[in-house]
């Protein structure tokens, strides 16, 4: 019985490793903050099993931002000027020598099975956590033709009190021959994944949040509107579509239509979301059918790779290779309340105040990242009058308008009033 040999390159990218080691050593000597990013990048590069041709391709790995990728490309350009041979030849020579060395060692030595070391017992919970972390770190690469694109529909879109109306979503998608699945989503109402034969799923850079006008009015009144927009901006999916749907004749909505139109305009201008307006559920599903067909055409010839959220590059529709989030990573990171920073919780607190928009809350948090820092600033004020006007001149939004006395006093009362 023949044994299968698994050949792994010892150094798939020796040049890049050499340059990173040099930069890391220099950063450590200077005690620069960049040493931590460089150390992560070097570890990710050593773990990657395939040769990379440029700094741009390194962007799929953890720790490689645009600055580091540009540095590698510049170093590679200088290296090419000094070499007569193609730049990838040293990598291929390393690959061939590794293969020959491995085969020679197999021929000369006898295969011996080393005794397994006894392992300490771990609980099922620990085993599950280890398995989940390994799956999260596993690199997924999808070549053209190896995956299909599926529309994911949040469970709340196909179930609820008004079951007849909500079940129309399934009926319409099936009649339009859209490949879809109903699943609980922790962010948005509709999104698309590329799934390969092994079941791995990468999220395409488009997500849809659907709101009927009555739902929009309700979410503005109870504060969910700003919180949802904040979470959508932070989730890592770069193209957010806000799909607004009419509610009958748009009467008895709970808020004046002028207010709702202004909220939609702010969402487009300040949040950078794409806005789509449909007359009913049928038109909404027809709109999703059109996007699905477009995405299938646009992505069928691309190479897709799993990428960490912090390493995502701006979406380029002309690129032949794209880094995308894993669905499981998006699901876990976007779960409400999951791994929220103090800064994010502070923003959510501020959004509960009437007339305080996301842009204004972010401007406050930019100046005072935590409630503790805001309290300390209040304590340093020489009088209550000075404290109540502390936030008045903070500039908000693209027009850099001041926050104003009224909101500054409201925030002071919110945090300093004793109950």
The neighbour count for residue 269, using CB atoms within 10 Å, is: 12
Residues of the chain with CATH 1.10.150.110: 14-105
| Span 2-60, pLDDT tens digits | 455 444 556 788 888 888 888 888 888 887 778 888 888 888 888 888 888 888 888 88
Q: What are residue 207's DSSP bridge partners?
A: 191, 240
In 3D space, the residue among 69, 65, 52 whose CA is nearest the CA of residue 141 turns out to be: 52
Q: Please, where in the chain does CATH 1.10.150.670 lie? A: 342-416
Which is nearest to 231 in space by CA: 384, 347, 70?
347
Q: What is the residue whose two structure tokens read 């798939």?
A: 12
Q: Angle at which helices 327-334 and 124-137 pack, to 10 degrees?
A: 120
Note the pLDDT of residue 102. 53
Tokens 């979406």 label which residue? 315
- For residue 212, the cross-strand partners are 245
| Angstrom distance (rounded) from CA 33 to CA 28 | 9
Give the residue numbers marked as catalytic.
Answer: 154, 157, 189
The encoded tokens of residue 254 equal 């709970």
What tens digit of pLDDT does each residue of 231-246 get?
888 888 999 999 999 8
Residue of 161, 177, 202, 227 whose CA lies nearest to 330: 202
Angle between helices 168-175 and 281-299 (to 10 degrees): 50
180 strand-pairing partners: 151
Cβ count within 10 A of residue 330: 25
Residue 232's contacts (CB-CB under 8 Å, 6 or more residues apart) are: 187, 188, 207, 209, 240, 271, 273
3-state secondary structure the chain: CCCCCCCCCCCCCHHHHHHHHHHHHHHHHHCCCHHHHHHHHHHHHHHCCCCCCCCCHHHHCCCCCHHHHHHHHHHHHHHHHHCCCCCCHHHHHHHHHHHHHHHHHHHHCCCCCCCCCCCCCCCHHHHHHHHHHHHHHCCCEECCCCEEEEEEEEHHHCCCCCHHHHCHHHHHHHHCCCCEEEECCCCCCEEEEEEECCCCEEEEEEEEEEEEHHHHHHHHHHCHHHHHHHHHHHCCCCEEEEEEECCCCCCCCCCCHHHHHHHHHHHHHCCCCEEEEECCHHHHHHHHHHHHHHHHHHHCCCEEEECCHHHCCCCCCCCCEEEEEEHHHHHHHHCCCCCCCHHHHHHHHHHCCCCCCHHHHHHHHHHCCCHHHHHHHHHHCCCHHHHHCCCCCCEECCCCEECCHHHHHHHHHHHHCCC
Looking at residue 180, its pLDDT comes to 94
Residues of the chain with CATH 3.40.50.10130: 137-334
In sign, the C-alpha dihedral spanning 232, 208, 194, 317 is negative
- State the Cα–Cα distance between residues 276 and 264, nearest whole angstrom: 10
- Tell the CATH topology of 137-334: Rossmann fold (3.40.50)
Angle, helix 405-416 to helix 371-380, in steps of 10 degrees: 100
Fold of 14-105: DNA polymerase; domain 1 (1.10.150)
pLDDT at 104: 61
Class of domain 342-416: mainly alpha
Rounded (5°) CA angle 63-52-48? 55
The answer to whether the beta carbons of residues 341 and 217 sit under 8 Å apart is: no
Question: Is the separation of the CB atoms in 238 and 315 below 8 Å?
Answer: yes
Per-residue confidence in pLDDT tens, the chain, 419 aa? 445 544 455 678 888 888 888 888 888 888 777 888 888 888 888 888 888 888 888 888 888 887 888 888 888 888 888 775 554 444 444 545 554 565 565 555 544 444 544 455 677 776 767 766 777 678 889 999 999 999 999 987 755 445 555 578 899 999 999 999 999 998 999 999 999 999 999 999 999 999 999 888 888 777 678 778 888 888 889 999 999 998 877 777 778 888 888 889 988 988 889 999 999 999 999 999 999 999 999 999 999 999 988 888 888 888 889 999 999 989 888 875 555 667 777 887 887 787 777 778 888 988 998 888 999 999 999 999 999 999 999 988 777 888 889 999 999 888 887 65
Residues 6+ away with beta carbon under 8 Å from 67: none
């Amino acid at each position: 019985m023949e044994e299968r040999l698994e050949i792994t390159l010892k150094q798939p990218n020796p040049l890049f490793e050499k340059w990173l080691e040099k930069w890391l050593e220099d950063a450590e000597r200077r005690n620069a903050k960049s040493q931590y990013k460089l150390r992560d990048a070097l570890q990710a590069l050593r773990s990657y099993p395939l040769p990379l041709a440029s700094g741009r391709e390194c962007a799929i790995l953890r720790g490689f931002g645009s600055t580091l990728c540009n540095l590698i490309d510049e170093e590679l350009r200088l290296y090419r000027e000094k070499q007569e041979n193609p730049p990838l030849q040293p990598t291929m020579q390393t690959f061939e020598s590794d293969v020959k060395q491995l085969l020679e060692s197999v021929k000369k030595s006898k295969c011996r099975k080393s005794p397994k070391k006894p392992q300490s017992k771990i609980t099922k919970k620990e085993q599950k956590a280890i398995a989940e972390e390994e799956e999260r770190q596993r690199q997924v690469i999808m070549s053209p033709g190896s995956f299909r694109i599926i529309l994911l529909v949040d469970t709340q879109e196909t179930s609820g009190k008004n079951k007849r109306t909500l079940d129309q979503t399934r009926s319409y998608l099936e009649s339009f021959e859209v490949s879809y699945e109903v699943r609980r989503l922790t962010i948005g109402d509709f999104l698309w994944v590329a799934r390969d034969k092994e079941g791995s799923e990468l999220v395409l850079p488009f997500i849809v949040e659907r709101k009927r006008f009555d739902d929009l009015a309700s979410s503005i009144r109870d504060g969910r509107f700003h919180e949802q927009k904040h979470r959508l901006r932070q989730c890592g999916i770069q193209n957010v579509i806000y799909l607004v749907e009419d509610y009958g004749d748009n009467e008895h909505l709970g808020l004046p239509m002028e207010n709702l139109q202004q909220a939609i305009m702010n969402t487009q201008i300040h949040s950078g979301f794409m806005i789509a307006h449909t007359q009913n559920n049928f038109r909404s599903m027809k709109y999703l059918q059109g996007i699905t067909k477009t995405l299938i055409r646009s992505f069928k010839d691309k190479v897709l790779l799993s990428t960490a959220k912090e390493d995502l590059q701006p979406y380029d529709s002309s690129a032949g290779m794209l880094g995308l989030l894993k669905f499981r990573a998006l699901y876990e990171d976007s779960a409400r309340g999951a791994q929220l920073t103090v800064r994010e919780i502070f923003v959510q607190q501020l959004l509960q105040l009437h007339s305080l928009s996301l842009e204004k809350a972010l401007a406050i948090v930019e100046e005072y990242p935590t409630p503790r820092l805001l309290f300390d600033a209040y304590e340093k004020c020489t009088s209550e009058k000075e404290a109540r006007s502390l936030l008045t001149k903070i500039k908000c939004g693209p027009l850099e308008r001041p926050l104003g006395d009224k909101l500054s006093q409201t925030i002071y009362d919110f945090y300093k009033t004793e109950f």
